[in-house]
Amino acid sequence: MVFPPHGALSHPVFEDDPVGLLCSSCGSGHSETLFCLSDQQPVCVVCRDSKAHEDHQFKPAVEAAQDLRQELDQSLRPLKEHLEKAKDTQQMLLVLADCVKKQSHQTKKQIQDQFNKLHQFLEDEEDARLKALREEEQQKIQKMKDKMEAVSREIEALSETIKDTEEQMREADISFLLKYKAVVEKVQHCPLLEEPQVGPRVLIDQAKHLGNLAFNIWSSMRMMVHYSPVILDPNRSTSEIVLSDDLTSFTTEKQRCPNGAGTEMDWALVFGSEGFDCGSRSWGVEVGNSGEWALGVVTDSFEKGVEEVVEGWSVAFSDDEYAAVLSEEQLTSLQLQSNPVRIRVCLDCDNHEVSFYDDDTNTHIHSFTHISPNKLFPYFGTTNKYKIRIQHEDETLV
């Protein structure tokens, strides 16, 4: 902070003093004014030795002012530091606000994409069902037309036969008798169509088109939608994690050093969005050929991110070895008969246990007992650019 020079300082009581500060005792002004540290008032050299200032400490005004400036400057340092922190906080909040806007825009687009897929599915379903209705209508209308044409031909033939017969009947007796046999044969052999049936099958099968319509569409929709028991949290992941749009799989932008000389920071981490503290839960994880992976559960102690994790229970595969991990210092080597591709995590919150299985063979891998009774979150980590995915599971909808 920049201070004005000494001559520019003034005090409201001493604005008319052309020489220096006025003595607080006698009111006189002297070029060599002292400052009484005890009374915090200017004192002239004459009054310094008076009884009123006995045992008081004095300093030249210039020195006293400089000392107080330095003292004030020291007292301002915490404020300056707090000011810098406040500015940093302000900048951080601006960055976070911008991040929130970007997240909102991205999430809005993904929501719209999901609904567009659902809308397209419903439109396709509607088109297919309306097409089936139109085809049935056309088929049955065509059958009606064919029958109507046949009936029209029958009407024409019958009308002609009746007309000819009536004409023969009006002829003279001899002529009528001579032609009678032929007329009778014509009448008897006149083709007669069966009376068309007009039962329910002739009409549109509305029961087929409308029965359980919404349920059938809903059932068909299950083919295009999936349920994941664990949703990954983008806000609780290291910066290297790249999540899929549905937040059920991830990869990492980083790659472990080829020589394998990695550190703890080589692991890219992500956590589940929902924690569990009661009942039993399970989820399958496809690790495939991900090279190195770790998965398990951690306590709810990372409100500010993944750096706040205190307790965790997991199994891991690293440097071609499997291990049960309590902490970096508590590793238990695991000997597995085969390399699992899918791992199932079974969490029993009521009994405070978590177990791991090979999901393809249902082979037990490892269990932790007496784990934390606090809320636990699914935990995942990797060092390689291979996708790790939460397995989709069927949920009973009815």
Kindly tell me if the per-residue pLDDT of 60 is higher than 90.
Answer: no
Nearest to 270 by CA among 381, 389, 390, 347: 381
3-state helix, strand, coil in the chain (%, to 5): 40, 25, 35
- pLDDT given at position 272: 94
C-alpha distances in angstroms, 294 versus 102, 271, 345, 385, 392? Answer: 30, 12, 12, 14, 19
Kindly tell me if the per-residue pLDDT of 29 is higher than 80.
Answer: no
Mean per-residue pLDDT, 129-144? 94
Rounded to an integer, what distance in angstroms lies between the CA atom of residue 190 and that of residue 273?
84
| Spatial contact of 300 and 377, defined as CB atoms under 8 Å apart | yes
Tell me the per-residue pLDDT of 209-242, one tens digit each, with 9 for 90 and over: 999 999 999 988 888 888 999 999 999 888 888 9
Nearest to 378 by CA among 237, 251, 254, 252: 237
- pLDDT given at position 384: 80
Indicate the pTM of the whole model. 0.69
Rounded to an integer, what distance in angstroms lies between the CA atom of residue 339 and that of residue 390?
18
Least confident of 84-88, 248-252, 299-303: 299-303
Token pair belonging to 231: 């949703």
Kindly tell me if the per-residue pLDDT of 194 is higher than 60.
Answer: yes
Rounded to an integer, what distance in angstroms lies between the CA atom of residue 295 and that of residue 335?
17
Q: How would DSSP label each residue in 247-265?
A: SSEEEES----TT----GG
Kindly tell me if the per-residue pLDDT of 71 is higher than 90.
Answer: no
Mean per-residue pLDDT, 256-284? 76
Q: How confident is the model at residue 262 (pLDDT cuts 50, 70, 90)?
A: very low
Rounded to an integer, what distance in angstroms lies between the CA atom of residue 176 and that of residue 181?
9
| Spatial contact of 31 and 17, defined as CB atoms under 8 Å apart | no
- pLDDT given at position 196: 67
